[in-house]
A and B are shown apart, each in its own frame.
Chain A
Amino acid sequence: MSFSFDGRYLISLGVQGENTLAVFEISSGSVICNAVLMNYATNQVKVDYMTQGSHVQFITVGNNASMSIWRVDTMTKQLTFYDVSPPDTLQSVNFLSVEFTHFLPSPVGTYYILIGADDGSLIAFNQQTS
């Protein structure tokens, strides 16, 4: 589970086997949008606190090096996602956890997405922000 920065939304992953993702609006207690995840087990969801305004952006990571970037438009309640293709060398590892680092906060522009994998490795992705 992961809260949005302002505490108004909570993103949760369903139990393994259901592979569901739900975005809760705290004030109403209701699910404003949801999705069925890809076949692989998804291990963690983490909101990117750098994104603010009328949308919430977050990342899910899971087995077989699966990683997706999601965005909820809180006005239209539309959920979109983008699957990140890992390098071939990572295909066999499982991503267990994800965290953002804000070494160089906006507007400088570059920060890292850190992923912990089950082979003991720590993988850092560069993300360019606008």
Chain B
Amino acid sequence: MAATVDGKLLAVGEGSENPQGQALIYLYDLEKR
């Protein structure tokens, strides 16, 4: 997990591959919640 220094974005990585064999990264816009 990592956030930008201005606190606007948060990236969260999935801990393991999902059944489709993909490792996912979720990107959140913290201003829009």
Instruction: Please report A residues at the B interface, Cβ cutoff 8 Å.
Output: 1-3, 5, 7, 10, 12, 14-15, 18, 24, 26, 29, 49
Q: How many residue pairs at the A-B interface have CB separations less than 8 Å?
A: 35
- Pairs A-B, 7 closest by C-beta atoms: A7-B4, A1-B2, A3-B4, A15-B23, A1-B11, A2-B2, A10-B11
**A7 and B27: CB pair below 8 A?**
no
* Given A7-B5, A26-B27, 8 new contacts (CB under 8 A): A1-B13, A7-B4, A7-B6, A10-B11, A10-B25, A15-B17, A15-B23, A29-B27
B25 pairs with A1, CB closer than 8 A: yes
Residue of B nearest to A1 (CB): B2
The contact size tier of chain B is 10 to 19
24 pairs, CB–CB < 8 Å, chain A vs chain B: A1-B2, A1-B11, A1-B13, A1-B25, A2-B2, A3-B3, A3-B4, A3-B9, A3-B11, A5-B5, A7-B4, A7-B5, A7-B8, A10-B2, A10-B11, A10-B25, A10-B27, A12-B11, A12-B13, A14-B23, A15-B16, A24-B25, A29-B27, A49-B5
A26 touches B9 (CB 8 A): yes
Nearest CB in chain B to that of A10: its residue = B11
A interface footprint on B5-33 (CB within 8 Å = 1, 0 otherwise): 11011010100110000010101000000
Also in contact, A3 and B5, with CB within 8 A (given A10-B11, A12-B25, A26-B27): yes
**A residues within 8 A CB of B16?**
15
